């Protein structure tokens, strides 16, 4: 009889542990503010060369039940060669260095498997090349210098539509996540050689409730 009671207790513990874990995970996920830090890789093309650059960033996630508002900023580190066209349609090479990206997206968390939550969403990303200069080796006609300077200014930044997908694993207030972002190529931007792909991983921390619980 003792053996039966012991086995029953163990079985109940095995059954209830995932339920309790999932309940705690839901409580710490819904209506919460998460601050996060991340690192990853960005693969892009300038039309002259394709590069994979390391990046670091910070983010802010505001959740409800099955949805969330995602805000982030990233810094990518690279040197690359892009180009612009002068008024005669001639290619002028441009030295590019580093970029920043600011993103706002709406995310959906449709299901959760215990502490695991897959998610996806869409949003907008503002991309800014930090340094874009014409190398001294480039020879530009005097009457085309202003045209080239204006073209560089115009192509240094661009807003773009993005698609995101990822997986978050939560443990108490901490969450580990991995995510991928797809950004289609945009005309009149230095990253217009083809679509840009970003892979990131990081850590999020629940800093508290995102709703006012005051009666």
Burial class (CB in 10 A: 0-12, 13-18, 19+), 147: middle
> Both tokens of residue 190?
């230095």
> Both tokens of residue 181?
């972002």
What is the pTM for the complete model shown?
0.82
The neighbouring-strand residues paired with 71 are: 60, 104
Tens-binned pLDDT, residue by residue, of the chain (215 aa):
554 454 344 334 333 334 434 555 577 788 899 999 999 999 999 999 999 999 999 999 999 888 999 999 999 999 999 999 988 888 999 999 999 999 999 999 999 888 899 999 999 999 999 999 999 887 778 888 888 899 999 999 999 999 999 999 998 889 999 999 999 988 889 998 899 999 999 999 998 775 655 55
Burial class (CB in 10 A: 0-12, 13-18, 19+), 72: buried
- Could you give the CA distance from residue 54 to residue 159 in angstroms, rounded to a whole number? 21
Domains of the chain: residue spans and CATH: 2-207 (2.40.160.20)
Which DSSP string do the residues of 41-62 spell out, in sequence order? EEEEE-SS-EEEEEEEEEEEEE
């Amino acid at each position: 009889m003792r053996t039966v009671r012991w086995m029953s207790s163990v079985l109940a513990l095995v059954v209830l542990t995932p339920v309790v874990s999932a309940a705690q995970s839901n409580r710490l996920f819904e209506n919460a503010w998460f601050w996060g830090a991340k690192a990853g890789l960005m693969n892009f093309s300038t039309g002259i060369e394709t590069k994979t650059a390391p990046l670091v960033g910070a983010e802010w996630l505001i959740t409800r039940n099955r949805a969330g508002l995602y805000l982030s900023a990233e810094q990518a580190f690279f040197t690359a060669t892009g180009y612009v066209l002068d008024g005669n349609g001639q290619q002028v090479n441009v030295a590019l260095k580093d970029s920043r990206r600011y993103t706002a997206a709406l995310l959906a968390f449709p299901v959760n498997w215990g502490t695991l939550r897959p998610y996806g969403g869409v949003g907008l990303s503002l991309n800014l090349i930090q340094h874009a200069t014409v190398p001294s080796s480039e020879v530009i006609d005097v009457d085309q210098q202003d045209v080239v300077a204006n073209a560089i200014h115009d192509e240094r930044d661009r807003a773009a539509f993005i698609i995101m997908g990822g997986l978050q694993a939560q443990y108490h207030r901490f969450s580990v996540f991995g995510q991928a972002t797809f950004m289609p190529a945009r005309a009149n931007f230095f990253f217009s050689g083809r679509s840009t792909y970003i892979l990131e991983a990081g850590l999020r921390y629940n800093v508290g409730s995102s709703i006012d619980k005051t009666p």
